[in-house]
Every structure is written in structure tokens, then in C-alpha cells.
Amino acid sequence: MVKVLIVDDSAFMRNALTSMLASDPEISIVGTARDGLEAIEKIASLRPDVVTMDVEMPRMDGITALKHIMEKAPVPVIMVSSLTNEGAKVTLDALDLGAVDFIPKNLSELSVNIVKIKEVLLDKIKQIARRGPIRRIVRPIDKAAIETKIRELRLTVPQRATGERKTSVVAIGTSTGGPRALQEIITVLPKDFPVPIVIAQHMPPNFTGPFAERLNQLSKIEVKEAQEGDQLKPGLALLAPGRGHMKVVKKRTLELVVTISENREEFAYRPSVDALILSIAECYPGRALGVILTGMGNDGLKGLTELKRNGGRVFAQNEQTCVVYGMPKAVVDAGLADKVLSLEEMAGEIINAV
């Protein structure tokens, strides 16, 4: 039985989440709290497996409470977030501090998709509870430490001429736990990283822009939210926008550019990892590296199957460092992974592969 504590100053949200979660016989709502102070007290007495945490609350807000929880008694925390640009920035701060994921606050406005949202939320809570808190120290980004890490990585990497490269593009797919994982990888890549990077991270539309900006500020390479017609270039990471699927296409001039489709098509997730990597497999036969990171479900399996069939290589994050070992597990179980790596090893192996 998964024990959940719901923290929100809104009686409507407490009731909505309680009703939604209590419908699953494997989940027990052990309590609710109206602010951060009450949450800290109830975590100590009720020992929940998962906490849902609102951001804006009286007496003590969710971010302050989260800091205290992560320092004193780590427990998986899912933030209840506003789907606005400001909400995105606060949520990204929370993920930096150790929150494992977020859910939309405006459940009342999502009635059309409420069955799907409920199904995903129930599955997410059960998987996160099984994983428990990841015992990694969550620390602020230290730019001096990043410089040192880049120097150390480059000492172990053989220098190659362009014609010797076996990899011409890196395609990364991720979901739950992905923002922190991407931050740990992208920020240590050197400025002269020799190939383009394309990324599909499951995120709402208003979140991918602020997330790309954050990665860009912390990284040596350039990171931007992709726009229709953006050209793939060495040292540039393009993040798929949350509003649609990103694909790579070859123009008549032989330039490789991205195209953004807002049609759901056959893909369940938006932006879809499969949609991106299937296009990469077609445009870069035998010259692509696919990287699958932490996340629920199996998005990416179809794309990486094709990428591998076309002669590409696949790296998967290992179970021990995933927030949810779903997407990488599907790839590993299918026998597609050339290497199964910890999050700490991933950046070095990507650099070595190009």
C-alpha cells in the first residue's frame, strides 16, 4: 500500500486529489495539510511514501518546505504546479531542489482529459513510491566544478578528425526525472562539442522554453527551444517544444532542419521521443547515438529499435540512478542498449562516442 500525504491550501485541490488517488486500492491517503509547516509535522508523524506539494501556501510555501524535507527527512515529493511561465520557473527550481516530478494544478480545467490524467498520476505515484528517494545530494550548480569536470572528461577522450567520427548526431529522450538528468549531462559538455544534439523531454508547452533557457545559462554549448526550420549544428542542443512533436527532415539543399507538428498522430506523448528518434534514424543511418534517460512508459522504444536497425548506437540510463526506470528498462529489456550507464557516467561516454 502506497501512503500519500496531500499538501495544498485549496480545499478543492485537496478533495480532488484525494478522490482521484483514493480510487486506487493500492493507494492510501494518510493525511492532508494546508501549508508547509503542517506538511513537515505530518511527514514526521505519518511517514508517507509520496507527498504532493502545492507551491503557494500561507505560513510556509512549498519551496521552503521542500528544502526542509530534502535536508531533514527525504521523501519523494511531486509538486502541484501552475501551467504558466512563472509556474514553470518555480517548478524547475523545485526539481533542482529534489522534487521528483510535477502535476498540473488546474485539474478543474482539464476535465476532457481527466481520465488519462488520473491514469498517469496513479501509475506515476506507485512507480515513484517503489523507487523511493534517490540518495544523491542535490546541490546548486557550481560552474567552477563544471569547468573541472569538462577538463577531466576531455583528458580521457581521444581526439578525432571530422572524417573519423562514427556519430554525427546525439538524440536524447526522457520524461519523469529528466530535467535534473539533462542538467547533469548537458552542462558538462564542452563548448566545441562536435555534433548537434536533439532532445525530447515530456513537458507542457509553457515549460520547455524556460527549461531550455535555464540549460543554456548553465551550459557551454548553446541550448534553445526548437522552432520550425532550425538547422542542426555542432554545439547546438535543440529541445522539442511542449506544444508538438519535433522531427528532423532533410531539405533539397541537403540541410537538416527540424519541423514541429502539433498533430497528435499515433504518438501518445507530446513531445514524442519516438517521433524524434524515428526521424533521426532515417536522416542519419549508421551515424546516430540515441540516449534514453529516466521516465515512465516505453516512449522511445520504437524509435531506438529503428535507429539500431539502421546501424546506430544506444545508451540507456541504469536503474539505480533513474527516478523511474520505465523508458530505459523497455530499451534494455529489448536488447537494444550498447551501454547501460549511471547518470554520472553518461556525459563522459557521450563525449567519447563522438
What are residue 236's DSSP bridge partners? 222
Query: 248 with 238: CB under 8 angstroms?
Result: no
Q: Where are the alpha helices (DSSP H) in the chain?
A: 11-22, 36-46, 62-72, 85-97, 114-131, 143-155, 178-186, 205-218, 273-283, 301-309, 327-333, 343-353
Torsion over CA: 182, 351, 169, 237 (sign): positive
Question: Nearest Cα to 178, choosing from 68, 262, 291?
Answer: 291
Asked if 272 is an active-site residue, the reply is no
* Catalytic hit among 82, 202, 245, 272: 202
Active-site residue flag, 175: yes
Q: Specify whether 28 is catalytic.
A: no
Name the amino acid, one letter, at 179: P
The answer to whether 212 and 333 are in contact (CB under 8 A) is no
Q: Report how far residue 312's alpha carbon sits from residue 257's, in angstroms, rounded to the nearest whole number.
A: 20
Residue of 288, 294, 329 lying closest to 308 (CA atoms): 288
Active-site residue identified among 175, 219, 272, 279: 175
Query: Residue 122: is it exposed, middle or buried by C-beta count within 10 angstroms (0-12/13-18/19+)?
Result: middle
Residues that are catalytic? 175, 202, 299
